[in-house]
Copies of this chain bind each other. A is one copy, B any other.
Amino acid sequence: MSKLVIPRKAVYRLSLYHRGLQRLKANRVSTVSSAALAKAAGVKPTQLRKDLTYFGQFGTRGLGYNVDALSAKVTEVLGHARLQPVILVGLGHLGSALLRYSGFAKEGFEIVAAFDLEPRNPFPEMEINCLGMERLKDYVRGRDIRMAILAVPAAAAQEVVKQLVEAGIQGVLNFSPTLLQVPEGVVVNNVDLAIELEYLSYFIQ
């Protein structure tokens, strides 16, 4: 099966549609128009329809889309029918907050363990595995974990990502304001909070 080419930005929006579809499913809505779903995602109807054409045709003209069918297809395209395990590295303020953030679970991700140099479990009520960095490699290798959330200080980020890659991690969601060097085949997605704030500030002058 050859991977279809879906524009990067369309992939991003697919996640938004996915979220909208889940909500519709929960509310037992069986059919939705491109106009309605697009509105929920904050995009134009034509854009949604165009986005869907990158991997097929799912609607009924005059009627709209079957929520269950479209939802299943989007889930498949996004490639996480199953719950995806993720590890978190760095248990400072931000890392701790991310660990307790329920939004990841809602989208089908589970933080299965957290790592830090000083791995005391800050939330005994949470039954999360808080481990030392020295156990990272074994843990990741043994469980075929592919994704990591990185929330360590900027100065440590490059060294830690090296360890992650050696352990077999293929995707890193990086919260440290650092440009990470990674080998071919490893994907990094940066979330740079200060830059987002600066970007915002530009548009309110």
Contacts and interface: CB of A to CB of B under 8 A. Distances in A.
Contacts of A200: 147, 171-173, 187, 189
A198 B15 contact: yes
| Chain A interface bracket (under 10, 10 to 19, 20 to 34, 35 or more) | 35 or more
Contacts of A196: 173, 189, 191
Given A171-B204, A177-B103, A197 B109 contact: yes
Contacts of A96: 93, 97
A40 B179 contact: yes
B107 A195 contact: yes
A117 interface: no
A24 interface: no
A53 B155 CA distance: 32
Interface string A158-199: 000000000000111100010100000001010101111111
Copies of this subunit = 2
A28 interface: no
Contacts of A135: none
A84 interface: yes
B197 A104 contact: yes
Given A100-B93, A101-B93, A170-B204, A147 B15 contact: no
Which 8 A-B pairs give the minimum distances between C-beta atoms?
A97-B97, A171-B204, A107-B194, A189-B200, A103-B194, A15-B198, A93-B97, A79-B205
Interface of A: 3, 11-12, 14-16, 18-19, 40-42, 78-80, 84, 86, 93-94, 96-98, 100-101, 103-104, 106-109, 146-147, 149, 170-173, 177, 179, 187, 189, 191, 193-205
8 contacts: A15-B198, A80-B201, A84-B201, A93-B100, A97-B97, A108-B198, A171-B204, A191-B191
